[in-house]
Structure 1
Amino acid sequence: MTHALFDPITVRDLTVRNRIWVSPMCQYSAERQDGVPTPWHLVHLGGFAKGGAGAVVVEATGVVPEGRISPQDLGLWNDEQRDAFRPIVDFIHSQGAAAGVQLAHAGRKASTYRPWSSTQGSVPVEDGGWTTVAPSAVAFDGYAEPRELTTEDIRLVALGFAAAARRAIEAGFDLVEIHAAHGYLLHQFLSPLSNHRTDDFGGSLEHRAQALLDVVDAVRAEVGEGFPVVVRFSATDWTEGGLTLDEVVQVARWAGEHGADLADVSTGGNVASAPIPVGPGYQVPFAAAVKREAGIGTIAVGMISEAFQAEQIVATGQADVVMVGREFLRDPGFPLRAARELNVAIDYEPQQYHRASVTKQG
């Protein structure tokens, strides 16, 4: 028996073995605070590939030092980082999965303590933090006030994304995702709550989208025609006066016209106190709306944790792919379990683990 969830998907020159992909999940574990991945990242990410994921997408990875969410975030702005990613990518490939990396700039939400720190908020410069930047000098609730970017700064941001995309290819990655969600820099440009500019990067939706489209253009020009580019959006700010689904549908349409292949549709993150009605699959309708109305393939995310739930999302055309986060942390072999539950025959369960297969005896 075949199921849509286990059908391969081809995006430009890349074919991925199934539609269950690992969502980018920050580990805050670059312990030297230099953005270089460590053995933790190899084991963490490699386990998902071994567990049958179609694609494993690395966490939000700073395109410039000041773009990191925390001092312990990964980066891809220099060759040392690129070279340290190569063995991780090689192992992911050895297990039959595709490797992706989410390229990010946190903007006003950068330079923060990692979640399990006893201190929260912005890390002071004297403690290893830095002055953050944003479309406007408007602080995120509880964080330090950022510096407003100049037009030249915005141009350099796009160049930073492009340079990181080039290093991603050199490291062997198969796709990149541009992070324009969760209240980070490109989302900050899109939302009128955080973008108060009056120049070509503020005001109308077309102007608020310009920074993102410049990034998409720069990345597409750098990676060429055959390499997949994904954009992650927050489809709503969940707050009156904020970014809306209708606006994101339009921006996703523009992003597709500029060379993006898939819209990874999440929500929220730009307003600390936004009332978000969280529940299983609560963000899937947003992915379905973008797919239906923007004419671009979509990825659904958000509390997708059951095989039949994931199958239903893909089989009914609400999204082309599901990205799973927390369930992979609970069970790195989630795709192997999903295949058994859906009665799908796959040929990539690790031979070393066959003695534990439910089809084996003894």
Structure 2
Amino acid sequence: MSALFSPFSVRDLTLRNRIVISPMCQYSAEGGKPNNWHLMHLLNLAVSGAGLLCVEGTAVEPIGRITPADLGLWDDETETAFRPAIEAIRKYSNIAVAVQLAHAGRKGSSHVPWNGGALIPSSDGGWQTVAPSALEHKAGEEKPLALDTEGMDRIRIAFAEAAQRADRLGFDAIEIHGAHGYLIHEFLSPLANRRTDAYGGSLENRLRYPLEIFDAVRAAFPVHKPVGIKVSATDWVDGGWDLPQTIAFANELKTRGVDWITASSAGVSPLQKIAAGPNYQLPFAEGIKTSSETNTIAVGLITDARQAEDIIASGKADLVALARAMLYDPRWPWHAAAELGATVEAPPPYWRSQPRGLEGLFGKTVSGLR
């Protein structure tokens, strides 16, 4: 029995296996609304055989987008625009579907990556970004507006309202984006948070607003549906956010009913120095899991079936999430199941694709035409 292809249950949701498709920004939305690109992209991944598909970072307000081409879930129009993709997934696949709710903070108002990714100045059509403190992400950029109480209240409410919209759309779960230098991570990291009020300074204070956002989402989403969070476990910068602080955050989240923590890293400072390699972020997932007894998702350069199997079998994480590997090979779970001697779900029109010797891969066989 493959550990990677064993089921995983959290609240009322049971995943068929431990493979998660990471939320991957497509930078292809129009006014925050998904379109035919997202329909094609998500349907393709929905029939991959993975256990959970997480829709890309979806902004809770327009200025919370990374780029003008980000998805959003902030009003009736953006909510309605999601329906065709969700309905198509439900028609053709039994995969569980989550959405990642996000706010870019000071890293908003940026060009799409293939146009350089730099901040778009307000003079060139960009917008005023917000952050815990009026500190720019990169030297020379326009400074963000330091959030006041009214702004923080607005964003907290926006997260809760987006969670309600996600439930109406039929999403099975929510992941809150608290990583990669975006707003929640900015509040956590002393590199971005220089506030002198109750939301800055000490670790307890820097945790306060991220925990308030989690509480707001958890309260707005049905209790039988899971809510997880993605974190950057380290800034990879001396004096920044690190694993011990992440574990303290995880322990607080545990008391509030967090269902998983996805352990990523970096993003809050261009000074970061990352020692990247296969499984380079796995110690973060393992450390969080061991210290807080919280379900964790391992991410980062996980590309091989045996590698993923070992992560789960060793108990270092509860699930593995793949991003670029899934874009390169959208049938990665099929191939992993074949290598590990497991079965995987596939839609009936694809059943005849099983290679010779792997006729039981999909747990079904189909004869040819008479």
TM-score band, normalised by shorter chain: over 0.9
Alignment match, 2:38: 41
Displacement of 1:170 in angstroms is 0.8
Alignment match, 1:359: 356
Alpha-carbon distance in 1 for matches of 2:15, 2:87 = 16
Alignment match, 2:186: 188
User: For residues 133-172 of structure 1, what are the structure 2 equivalents within 5 Å?
Assistant: 133-142=130-139, 143-172=141-170
Tell whether the 8 Å contact from 1:64 to 1:75 is kept in structure 2 after alignment: yes
Provide the secondary structure at the position in 2 that maps to 1:103.
strand
1:294-344 per-residue CA deviation (whole Å, 9 max, x = no partner) reads 121100000101111111111111111111001100111111111001011
Alignment match, 2:365: none
Q: Which of residues 267, 271, 274 is equivalent to 1:273?
A: 271
Q: Which of residues 304, 326, 329 is equivalent to 1:328?
A: 326
Q: Which of residues 40, 57, 60 is equivalent to 2:57?
A: 60
Alpha-carbon distance in 2 for matches of 1:280, 1:356 = 31
Provide the secondary structure at the position in 2 that maps to 1:112.
coil
Tell whether the 8 Å contact from 1:86 to 1:172 is kept in structure 2 after alignment: no
Alignment CA distance shift 1:298-1:359 (3 Å) = same
Displacement of 1:358 in angstroms is 1.6
| TM value normalised by structure 1 | 0.96
Tell me which moved more, 142-151 or 62-71.
142-151
Displacement of 1:120 in angstroms is 4.1
1:121-140 per-residue CA deviation (whole Å, 9 max, x = no partner) reads 21133443200000000000
Runs of at least 5 residues in structure 1 that lack an aligned partner in the other structure: none
Tell whether the 8 Å contact from 2:24 to 2:55 is kept in structure 1 after alignment: yes
Alignment match, 1:337: 335
1:169-193 per-residue CA deviation (whole Å, 9 max, x = no partner) reads 1111111111110000000000000
AA matched with 2:319: V
1:230-267 per-residue CA deviation (whole Å, 9 max, x = no partner) reads 11000000111100100000101111212211001101
Alignment match, 1:9: 8
Alignment match, 1:299: 297
User: For residues 77-156 of structure 1, what are the structure 2 equivalents within 5 Å?
Assistant: 77-93=74-90, 94-117=92-115, 119-142=116-139, 143-156=141-154
Q: Does 1:253 align with 2:251?
A: yes
Tell whether the 8 Å contact from 1:71 to 1:128 is kept in structure 2 after alignment: no
Alpha-carbon distance in 2 for matches of 1:18, 1:345 = 10
Q: CA RMSD in A?
A: 1.4
AA matched with 2:43: G
Alpha-carbon distance in 2 for matches of 1:343, 1:172 = 33
Alpha-carbon distance in 1 for matches of 2:76, 2:97 = 18
Equivalenced residues, count: 357
Q: Which of residues 176, 179, 193 is equivalent to 2:177?
A: 179
Identical aligned residues as a percent: 48
Alpha-carbon distance in 2 for matches of 1:111, 1:23 = 23
AA matched with 1:14: L
Displacement of 1:207 in angstroms is 0.6
Provide the secondary structure at the position in 1 that maps to 2:157.
helix
Alpha-carbon distance in 1 for matches of 2:268, 2:76 = 32
Alignment match, 2:232: 234
Alignment match, 1:18: 17
1:177-224 per-residue CA deviation (whole Å, 9 max, x = no partner) reads 111100000000000000000111001111101111001111111113
Alpha-carbon distance in 2 for matches of 1:206, 1:359 = 59
Alignment match, 2:362: none
Alignment CA distance shift 1:96-1:224 (3 Å) = closer
AA matched with 1:161: F
Alpha-carbon distance in 2 for matches of 1:199, 1:295 = 31
Tell whether the 8 Å contact from 2:167 to 2:222 is kept in structure 1 after alignment: no
Alignment CA distance shift 1:324-1:207 (3 Å) = same
